[in-house]
Copies of this chain bind each other. A is one copy, B any other.
C-alpha cells in the first residue's frame, strides 16, 4: 500500500510540474485499488486482534498499522486531489510560476519515503528525522503562498491557475503532515511512547 501511495504522489506531482495529463489519469485510476487495500489491511489487523490477543509491542505494532493505514488512504485521496488540480491547470496556458513547488514536493516526498522506511525497519532515528523536516515544509509552503498571491494580484486572469497552484501546495503540506503522523506512530510502536503534541515528557503507554 505504501508503494502504491508513493507512486501516486510522484505521478501527481509530475502531472503538475510537467503538465502531464496521462500521469494525472493514472493517479485517478489507481485510487480504487488503494481504497480496497485499506479495507483488507483493516480487516486483517482486526482479525489479528480478535484471534491472537497480541500483547505489548505486537499490540502496538497492530495499532500503529491501523493508524498508518488510515493515513495512507488519505494520502492516496490527496494525490488524487493534486491530479485533479493538474488537469485543471492543463486547461490554461502555462504562464503561471511553478515557484518553489518542485522543492516543496521533493521535501514532502522524501518525508513520505522515510516515514514508510522507518515503519518497515522499526527505525527510530529515521522516524525522528521526519519530524525534524516539518518546519522546513511550513516555511517553503508560506513562501509559495506569498509568491502565488502576488501572481494573482498582478492580473485577475491569474486567479484561477493561482488558486489551483495554492491547492497543490496546501495538499503537499498535508502529505507531509500525514508522513509526520506515520513517524509518530513508528515511535509509539517501537518505543512505546506517545510523542504527539509533545506535552512535556512523552507519556509512557505500555512498558
Contacts and interface: CB of A to CB of B under 8 A. Distances in A.
A49 B46 contact: no
Contact of A59 (B50, B160, B163): B50
Most chain B CB within 10 A, of A154, A166, A205, is at A205
A17 interface: no
Interface stretch (A83-91, A100-108, A192-200): A192-200
Interface residues of A, number: 36
A32 B166 CA distance: 29
Main secondary structure on A side of the interface with B: helix
Given A153-B159, A159-B153, A199-B35, A194 B59 contact: no
Contacts of A66: 63, 66-67
Nearest to A203: B39
A3 interface: no
Interface of A: 32, 35-36, 38-39, 42-43, 46-47, 49-50, 53, 55-56, 59-60, 63, 66-67, 70, 149, 152-154, 156, 159-160, 163, 166, 194, 196-197, 199, 203, 205-206
